[in-house]
Amino acid sequence: MEVRVRYAPSPTGLQHIGGVRTALYNYFFAKASHGKFILRVEDTDRERYSDESLEDLYSTLSWLGIKWDEGPVVGGEFGPYIQSERYKIYQDYAKKLVDMGKAYYCYCTPERLEALREEQQRTKSEYQGYDRHCLNLSEEERAELEGKGIKPVIRLKVPTEGKTTVHDLLMGDITRKNRDISPDPILLKSDGFPTYHLANVIDDHLMGITHVMRAQEWIPTGPLHVILYEAFGWEPPIYCHLPMVMGKDGQKLSKRHGSTSVREFRNDGYLAEALINYVTLVGWSLDGSTEFFSKEELEKCFTLEGIHKSPGVFDYKKLEWFNGMYIRSKSDDELFSLVKPYLVDKGYIHSDPTEEEMRVLKLLIPPAKERMKTLKDIVELSSFVFEDRPPEDVEMYISKGADLKSSLEALERGSEILFSSLKRGEGSEDIENSLVKLAQELSLKVNGVFQPLRVAITNSKVSLPLFDSIEILGLDEAERRAKRSIEFMKEKENA
């Protein structure tokens, strides 16, 4: 049997980390089993639908490099793959169910249903839900209601006896008494639009879906779907409901924890490789120890057996760590192309960089690469070159255990050593040794000398190594900045 799986998002918001993980698992499972990955857009909820969400779906999948074998744009044998283009199909199948005696027309007005609901609440009735008022309407009664111009909905006849079992690969069998299933859900609305249940089940069947991998929050609707398959006389697919993605506090991952949409991560300078690698690991493992997987590897080695039963915790720090590792695996040229938009956006370089800008970047990228966690970090790490910010915070110069006086002395004498040695062409190792000696003389830690020097030259505590920074700026500019900082600190001392 060929594996056919689908990702079936509703375009009602930006692609969320949890949704994308579902997409990845389906995609990798399809690839690893030489099956088909299908994209289906479940856009029947027209109130929550937005064009932006649909565009975000396409751009997110394409950024991640996830291609679908069948679906919108590319088409396929079982299309269309956008539910709003399939209304006729759902209407026909809903009528079929009525003809088979598995569903029925209901003409109840919203007012009647509302009154019913209030009554059930008021009397704390054990029975909650639709009262099957229209279950046994005669043809005459129906004709009369139709004559009044009332448009009916179609409801599924949920059996009142017996039990229904959802077989889930991960969770095992989930069995519910049929009488506990909310009675007679609407399948087709009076305007001819299907509800989620009807469209989802019909499409999974018609599209030949073999495995349904989706978020665990769909488990409660599982029994209803199985009843619907039985009503049609169809075989349900194999279910595998995926454990939730949670924040560190054990709550479902949400805005409170940080970014949740792939778009935000992308804008913040996360690489697709890092996101794919890490997100896949939130709830899946190969052998419990391998951590690095390229997309191509996952396309080969992904297994359903590796999916965890317990919820996965999304750790932002861990993702950042992965991102740093992937950044360091890039060549300088690749990294340049990746960081360029951030630098152009900030106004640091031209979109067609000048020769001088290229010279700076060639020097800047290698040491920056070692320090970046996200692509965006390039802005902070390179600001000292492109933005000459005069000193304003004297505290920045003072390292732990030092004070203004000792830091000023370290900066004055350190600059003297630094620039005279550089002008003589001494190597950085010798100069470093002299600076370490100076620290000892001043009874300071090594950083007591290096911090004021680095801050003087870059005006930032997050910066590249001293010698790299000087090389990028040029000796004259670096010396000018050091002198300016000395003046600044003297003023503060005398203030």
Sites of contact with ligand GLU (CB under 6 A): 8-10, 42, 200, 214, 218
Which residue number, 5 or 276, has a Cβ lying nearer to ligand GLU? 5
Cβ-closest residue to ligand GLU?
Answer: 214
Owner of token pair 């889930």? 168
Q: Are 162 and 169 in contact (CB under 8 A)?
A: no
Which residue number, 240 or 472, has a Cβ lying nearer to ligand GLU? 240
The verdict on 133 binding Zn ion (CB under 5 A) reads: yes
Which residue number, 136 or 289, has a Cβ lying nearer to Zn ion? 136
Which residue number, 144 or 387, has a Cβ lying nearer to Zn ion? 144
CB of 324 to Zn ion, least distance (A): 60
Q: Please choose which of ligand GLU, Zn ion, none residue 245 contacts, taking the beta carbon within 5 to 8 angstroms, the exact cut-off set by kind.
A: none
The verdict on 188 binding Zn ion (CB under 5 A) reads: no
Q: Are 181 and 223 in contact (CB under 8 A)?
A: yes
Which residue number, 15 or 383, has a Cβ lying nearer to ligand GLU? 15
CB of 375 to Zn ion, least distance (A): 57
CB of 90 to Zn ion, least distance (A): 20
CB of 42 to ligand GLU, least distance (A): 4
Tell me the C-alpha distance between 322 and 340, whole Å.
21
Active site residue 255: yes
Q: Please choose which of ligand GLU, Zn ion, none residue 106 contacts, taking the beta carbon within 5 to 8 angstroms, the exact cut-off set by kind.
A: Zn ion
Per-residue x/- mask for Zn ion, residues 61 to 100, rule CB under 5 A?
Answer: ----------------------------------------
DSSP characters over 119-155: HHHHTT-S--S---TTTT--HHHHHHHHHTTPPPEEE
**Structure-token pair, residue 125:** 């009735």
The verdict on 308 binding Zn ion (CB under 5 A) reads: no
DSSP characters over 56-111: HHHHHHHHHT---SBBTTTB-TT---BGGG-HHHHHHHHHHHHHTTSEEEE---HH
CB of 165 to Zn ion, least distance (A): 29
The verdict on 132 binding Zn ion (CB under 5 A) reads: no
Q: Which stretch binds Zn ion (CB under 5 A): 78-86, 133-141, 363-371, 475-483?
A: 133-141
Q: Are 469 and 458 in contact (CB under 8 A)?
A: yes
Q: At what angle do helices 447-458 and 466-473 cross, to 10 degrees?
A: 20
CA nearest to 5, candidates 198, 276, 242, 208: 208
Question: Across-strand partners of 211?
Answer: 5, 238
Instruction: Please report how many Cα atoms fall inside a 13 Å half-sphere around the Cα of residue 8, on the Cβ side.
Output: 23
Residues 96-125 that bind Zn ion (CB under 5 A): 106, 108
Q: Please choose which of Zn ion, ligand GLU, none residue 460 contacts, taking the beta carbon within 5 to 8 angstroms, the exact cut-off set by kind.
A: none
- DSSP three-state, residue 211: strand
Sequence-distant (≥ 6) Cβ neighbours of residue 238 within 8 angstroms: 167, 169, 210, 211, 212
CB of 194 to ligand GLU, least distance (A): 12
Owner of token pair 């049929």? 178
Owner of token pair 């009735």? 125
The verdict on 134 binding Zn ion (CB under 5 A) reads: yes
Q: Please choose which of ligand GLU, Zn ion, none residue 10 contacts, taking the beta carbon within 5 to 8 angstroms, the exact cut-off set by kind.
A: ligand GLU
- Which entry of 88, 124, 255, 309 is annotated as an active-site residue? 255
Tell me the C-alpha distance between 231 and 208, whole Å.
17
Q: Please choose which of Zn ion, ligand GLU, none residue 369 contacts, taking the beta carbon within 5 to 8 angstroms, the exact cut-off set by kind.
A: none
CB of 142 to Zn ion, least distance (A): 11
Which residue number, 132 or 492, has a Cβ lying nearer to Zn ion? 132
Which residue number, 27 or 397, has a Cβ lying nearer to ligand GLU? 27
CA nearest to 202, candidates 430, 8, 452, 483: 8
* Type and span of the H or E element at 419: helix 404-424
**Structure-token pair, residue 469:** 């920074």
Q: Which stretch binds Zn ion (CB under 5 A): 22-30, 131-139, 233-241, 459-467?
A: 131-139
Q: Which residues are catalytic?
A: 255
Binding site for Zn ion (CB under 5 A): 106, 108, 133-134
